[in-house]
Structure 1
Amino acid sequence: MAVSSLSRLRERRREYVDQRSALVSAVESRGDASLTAAETIRYEQLSGRISGIDERIEELEDEQTRSDSATDGAAAVRRASSGLSVNEPRTYGRGARASYFQDLARVRLGQDDDGSAIDRLRRHAQDVNEGPEYRDLNRTDGNGGYAVPPLWLMNDFLTLARAGRAYANVVNNQPMPAGTDSINIPKVATGSATAVQTADNAAVQETDATDTFINAPVRTIAGQQDVAVQLLDQSPVSFDEVIFRDLVADYATKLDLQVISGSGSSGQVTGVRGTSGITTIAYTTGSPTVAGIYSKLADAVQRVHTLRFMAPTVIVMHPRRWAWFLAASDSAGRPLVVPQAGNPQNAVATLGAVAAEQVVGQMHGLPVVTDPSLPTTLGAGTNEDVIHVLRASDLILYESGIRSRVMPEVGSGTLTVRLQVYGYLAFTAARYPASVVELGGTGLSAPVF
């Protein structure tokens, strides 16, 4: 199992390395030594995936070394105790007759008379612990892998759910460290210094650097649904999977809202908008124009350059604001935002894709991402939205895998089972607050089409 896993990992690593090399070659072929913002994001994504695979390969190679040192008899005992055949398909794989949530419910309700459900859950726990693709989900305390949903469910449902977390997806995503309820990130408070030496043998400038730390508390997002046991037992469809889909979809939305607007109190993280020190620019006018917002966005871009001393990487706005740009036209009725393929002249932006909650185009040389979780009820008229220009890699989001529980006790008197999903997150934009510029004001009131 480890050998085949290593082979797959190495093949995947080669694919990412080839993609990164192709990206660099494309940049070199056009005679430009610098990457565009979109190319930089892609380069960092590929590099992060390669680093993650390298770590996992090292873990599996260590595991293989330990396994090779064991006797054949000991290996046979391990296979027998796990009940897992080397060539056996995933217990809860796509199309499997068994239902993961139904087996959890049967075990907790004491209805597993023949022991088949607990056997499948044990095999599933072994699946989770052996497969490299389960690494991000294997964070369950106490119950092995029982509480980790099958990967194909996560892939299918998280693909839907993650469309509702566009902002959270562009920031620096990291796995949640185990065994902690608070993450402290070191930060240089005041730096050292240099100075011109006034003369030969004169004193050299010496200024001691000082440090501090940014605290990111670990918070919980959870949801539950009570269902009748009869529905789990007799439904012609896997109703437990329908519930799981809905809970995880809402989980993704709530996580995105935390990243953007978390209050920092009542169990919430401190989101981007609540972070002290981010730059704000007001566009105040009763008659907003595309040219007016465009110039303010240029100011936002230079603020990141000037205050962070590095380039921003993305612009995030509400879909209604992007639609307002798309609807704008000049005095001759010609649109101001057109597809790149149309070789636009004097366009304020280019349309990259007719898409939702992802990169939809470019403006000021930066990719534009739309996210409907950005607020639209701000200002005195409670109808203003905001636009964020940011260096996304400076913002860090730590996430655990999503976990699940089945609890029959709460509704045992009515044959009701409670299904729960939950996960942990920690977030901070306080390492470099100057990496974020928020554009708002009366000029971003609800657009009229």
Structure 2
Amino acid sequence: MSDERFRRLVARREQTAREREDILAKRKAITDLAEEEAREDLLPEEDAEFREFTAQIKAKDDELRQLDERISELSEEAERSRSVTEGAAAVKRAKARVETVNEARTYVRGNGRSYLQDLAKVQLNMDTDGQARDRLQRHAQDVASEQEYRDLNRTDGNGGYAVPPLWLMNQFIEVARAGRAYANLALSQPLPGGTDSINIPKVATGTTTAIQTSDNGAVSETDLTDTFITAPVRTIAGQQDVAIQLLDQSPVSFDEVVFRDLTADYATKLDLQVISGSGMSGQVTGVRATGSIETVTYTSATPTVAQLYSKIADAVQRVHTLRFMPPTAIVMHPRRWAYLLAATDNNGRPLVTPDAGNPQNNIATLGAVAAEQVVGQMHGLPVITDPNMPTTLGAGTNQDVVHIVRASDLLLYESGIRSRVLPDVGSGTLTVRLQVYGYLAFTAARYPKSIVEVAGTGLVAPSF
């Protein structure tokens, strides 16, 4: 069983479970609103959203069952093979102790010898004195006593050079990148093909009604007018040129390493576009750049949690008042959520407590110690943290913002992420270009009043 494959499956299951919880929270917000307003039935728009979320939850349940089956199969396979491999490993280790002398490994970090350089010399027939080949042969004997075994043996010509030093393999660390928590809130649809912009019709001014002053009196009549909003299709792309020797000879599937890193950064850049895209230079118009969104200014030289709590309450009521529908989420930077978690009353008691145990007099509840997903509730709304939320705003360039949104009003069209391997670009130097790209269109302009940004000097970087 591949440890990397198993880790990827487990990570995928955890991500799917988090996505399911997010959808559950969105669906619950619909029924909670109906209960608050003492309505037995959902409004048509709410019913459509409820059914859509239910279908999404069912799809996530099916995906989780499939992942659980695959993880279980891999685990059982590992258990079956362990008894066989342990015996073989013991024999090989014993043989290695008898046949090898007590000397340092051929490739040890800091000893001046490069495994990859020797590998390239041998493959390109540049090993004129044979020393690189000798070192690789000794290295093949070194790794023969290690715990990792493969079908190929490690002698010259049968895979002996394909196993890198353990320190090179075991200490590989991927770049940590933020995900796309905000973008995942938006109503996502497949991007239609054959277009460079999406035009969405919108009613500009509506009809009117009025009291009829008397029988046979004039009836109010106002002509409806319409307009449209445009969401241009934009491109996110990235690439990495890699020596073909690295792809051919590295057992770590280095192309997967590159593609995984490019894809992770793609998600980060898409999330940043949804939040802060400028609408210029090939960018989409993100939420913050959308005209006519509401802003609650929070100005304070000595900010407090109580002040922020009231500002967020103001933002919530503005969505109710101007959009005539409830908001569905609060989005903030992890540092702002940590600021709330650290807050205490005059007796040192925390103001944000776990939702278990029926807390009282708290301003919010802690739902989960999690990243880039629902972490708790405030004002009855799920709180989602996203490290891509800006933190360098204001005169002191150290302010962040908090968004209160009705997520279903945000519209995100996405293509699938596409990958390409281009060997011809650097064929003269045995270089391969690995490339990923994808298309997106986004708009928050359908109902800009469903978005409220809390910003100002009261949201300077918190101290802990």
TM-score range, shorter chain: 0.5 to 0.7
Match of residue 343, structure 1, among 358, 367, 373: 358
Q: Distance in 1 between matches of 2:35 and 2:290?
A: 41
Partner residue of 2:203? Answer: 188
Q: Distance in 2 between matches of 1:385 and 1:289?
A: 15
SS of residue paired to 1:173 = strand
User: Matched residues, percent identical?
Assistant: 73
Please report how far the alpha carbon of residue 163 of structure 1 lies from its aligned counterpart in structure 2 after TM superposition. Answer: 6.3
Alpha carbons of 1:162 and 1:395: their partners in 2 closer, same or farther (altered >3 Å)?
A: farther
Please report how far the alpha carbon of residue 46 of structure 1 lies from its aligned counterpart in structure 2 after TM superposition. Answer: 2.6
Match of residue 293, structure 1, among 285, 298, 308: 308
Q: What are the ranges of 5 or more consecutive residues in structure 1 without an aligned counterpart?
A: 1-14, 54-93, 95-159
Match of residue 194, structure 2, among 173, 179, 189: 179
8 Å contact kept, 1:171–1:392: yes
Partner residue of 2:405? Answer: 390
Partner residue of 1:426? Answer: 441
Q: Distance in 2 between matches of 1:48 and 1:309?
A: 26
AA aligned to 1:446 is: A
Partner residue of 1:401? Answer: 416
Q: Distance in 2 between matches of 1:52 and 1:192?
A: 40
Partner residue of 1:10? Answer: none
Superimposed CA distance per residue, residues 341-394 of structure 1 (whole angstroms, 9 cap, x where no aligned partner) = 132111000000000010000000000000000000000000000000010100
Q: Distance in 2 between matches of 1:185 and 1:321?
A: 35
AA aligned to 1:43 is: F
Match of residue 332, structure 1, among 342, 347, 353: 347
Please report how far the alpha carbon of residue 47 of structure 1 lies from its aligned counterpart in structure 2 after TM superposition. Answer: 4.2
Q: Distance in 1 between matches of 2:59 and 2:217?
A: 49
Match of residue 274, structure 2, among 249, 253, 259: 259
AA aligned to 2:56 is: R
Alpha carbons of 1:163 and 1:445: their partners in 2 closer, same or farther (altered >3 Å)?
A: closer
Alpha carbons of 1:190 and 1:52: their partners in 2 closer, same or farther (altered >3 Å)?
A: farther
**Superposition TM-score, scaled by structure 1 size:** 0.67
AA aligned to 1:275 is: T
AA aligned to 1:46 is: F
Q: Which runs of 4+ in 1 moved over 2 A?
A: 26-35, 39-53, 160-163
Q: What are the ranges of 5 or more consecutive residues in structure 2 without an aligned counterpart?
A: 1-19, 61-73, 75-174
8 Å contact kept, 1:386–1:444: yes
Q: Distance in 1 between matches of 2:221 and 2:300?
A: 50
AA aligned to 1:165 is: R
**Superposition TM-score, scaled by structure 2 size:** 0.65
Q: Distance in 1 between matches of 2:385 and 2:358?
A: 23
Q: Larger relative CO (CA 8 A, sep 6+): 1 or 2?
A: 1
Partner residue of 1:43? Answer: 50
SS of residue paired to 1:303 = helix
The question of 1:444 aligning with 2:459 is answered: yes
Please report how far the alpha carbon of residue 203 of structure 1 lies from its aligned counterpart in structure 2 after TM superposition. Answer: 2.0
The question of 1:164 aligning with 2:171 is answered: no
1:34-433 maps to which residues of 2 (within 5 A)? Answer: 43=50, 45-47=52-54, 49=56, 164-433=179-448
8 Å contact kept, 1:399–1:424: yes
AA aligned to 2:266 is: Y
Please report how far the alpha carbon of residue 236 of structure 1 lies from its aligned counterpart in structure 2 after TM superposition. Answer: 1.1
Q: Distance in 2 between matches of 1:40 and 1:356?
A: 30
Q: Distance in 1 between matches of 2:315 and 2:291?
A: 17
Please report how far the alpha carbon of residue 23 of structure 1 lies from its aligned counterpart in structure 2 after TM superposition. Answer: 7.5
AA aligned to 1:227 is: V
Superimposed CA distance per residue, residues 150-174 of structure 1 (whole angstroms, 9 cap, x where no aligned partner) = xxxxxxxxxx999610000011111
Pairwise CA RMSD: 3.1
SS of residue paired to 1:430 = coil
8 Å contact kept, 1:357–1:370: yes
Greater shift, 231-240 or 385-394, is seen at 231-240
AA aligned to 2:448 is: P
AA aligned to 1:183 is: I
Greater shift, 232-241 or 176-185, is seen at 232-241
Superimposed CA distance per residue, residues 395-432 of structure 1 (whole angstroms, 9 cap, x where no aligned partner) = 10100000011112221111000010000000000111
Q: Distance in 2 between matches of 1:29 and 1:197?
A: 35
8 Å contact kept, 2:418–2:436: yes
Give the count of matched residue pairs: 322
Q: Distance in 2 between matches of 1:279 and 1:29?
A: 27
8 Å contact kept, 1:161–1:252: no
8 Å contact kept, 2:372–2:387: yes
Please report how far the alpha carbon of residue 42 of structure 1 lies from its aligned counterpart in structure 2 after TM superposition. Answer: 8.7
8 Å contact kept, 2:178–2:388: no
AA aligned to 1:377 is: T
8 Å contact kept, 1:161–1:248: no
Alpha carbons of 1:29 and 1:263: their partners in 2 closer, same or farther (altered >3 Å)?
A: closer
SS of residue paired to 1:381 = coil
